[in-house]
Each structure stands twice: as C-alpha cells, then as structure tokens.
Amino acid sequence: MLRHDLLDKGYHFEQKEPIKPIINLLWLFFSALFITTGVAFFFAIYKDVFDFFPTVDFNAGVLNFIFISTPLIYFVIKAVLTYIYCSGKPKNIRMKLTSNTGMPVWVCRDAFKTRQIIFMYLIPVVLIYPPLYVLGAWSGGNMYLLVLIIIMSFLMSYDLILIIYVIFLRVKYNADYTAINNHAYNLTLYFEKEQIKK
C-alpha cells in the first residue's frame, strides 16, 4: 500500500535504523556460510561423492552465458515481484544503489506486509541458488560456476539479511506495514494504532 495512503488512513510511523556494523557483519557471516557451502559442495564433486550425477561438458560460450545471465535473471525476478506488489506501476518502481554498500536494489513508494517482503526477497534466492548447484554438479565441478556461486552468495545474503531484520522488527514491534527505504539500513514501520516507544 502506498505510504501516503497509510498516513491518510491515520497510520502512525516510526523510522528504524539498525546498528550498521552489525548488519554488515551479518551480511559477511551469511555470505561466508553460503560460500563455504559452495566450496564444500564442489570439493565433494571432486571427491566423486556425486559420481551418480550425469555430467555435461559445458563449452566456454555456455559458461559465459550462465555467468552473465544469472545475476540478470536474479534482478529481473526481483523486478517482477516488486512490480506485482507495488502500486502506481510502473512509474512507481525504480532501481537505485544503496547509500551504504552501493548494491543495486529495486524500490517503490509502497509499504508492505511482512509476508510480502519475505516473498519478494526469498523467492529469487530459492529460484536461483539450487539451480547453480545442479549446474555445478552437471559440469563436474567447473570452477567458473563456483566463482558465480561466490558472487551470487553476496547478493543473496544481502537480501536474506533484510528478511531477517524485517522479521525481527515484526516480532519486536508488531508493525502492520514496513517500508524499505535503504534496504536493511533504513526502514519505516507503520502502525494502525500509535505504539509506545520501546
């Protein structure tokens, strides 16, 4: 729902900014977790743990296509989901770089229910991450795909941190809507009834 519509309906709002070093450390932690999982998976491929899995010899053209298209597909999925949930489309939706990290994100003038934010940011991870492992196994552990998993781990961890923080705020403050101003670094909570400051 558009933010000004919430204000017109009498919703109260409160800005929330986390302790930035904590968000950055969590981002690095989850990135390292994803990367470690990827490296362990490729190590298992080299140790023939997945020798039952059929392998395909990807040529350089196919690998280049996968390498370039995967981040693009990730951002397209996020753009489509943002479009589905945002009002006043498409002029209301734009891509911007976050001021803290320079990461590209889709933004609009809406505030969302917690379940909508989870859907918008978790679905791209679910649709992209597992296929990368399948491709890695098919390729017989091509290092090109491991590098891609490492790159995508940073992007996906960034979005997972937002999901975790939004869920934390929902549990702590029980907000009706959440507006994403600067990814996990700046959120606005909207309440139907005025909240007591905690």
Tens digits of residue pLDDT in 156-166: 999 999 999 99
Cα–Cα distance between 154 and 149 in angstroms, integer? 9
pLDDT of residue 122: 94
Distance CA 195, CA 198 (A): 9
How long a stretch of residues is the chain?
Answer: 198
Q: Per-residue pLDDT tens for 101-122?
A: 788 888 888 899 999 999 999 9
Cα distances (Å, whole numbers) of residue 2 to 123, 130, 156, 179: 23, 34, 26, 9
Closest CA to 148 of 76, 87, 62: 62
Token pair, residue 18, equals 């986390």
Q: What is the pLDDT of residues 53-83, one digit of tens each?
A: 788 888 999 999 999 999 999 999 999 998 8
What are the beta bridge partners of residue 94? 107
Confidence (pTM): 0.87
Q: What 8-state DSSP symbol labels residue 10?
A: T
Using pLDDT thresholds of 50, 70 and 90, give the confidence band for residue 196. Answer: very low
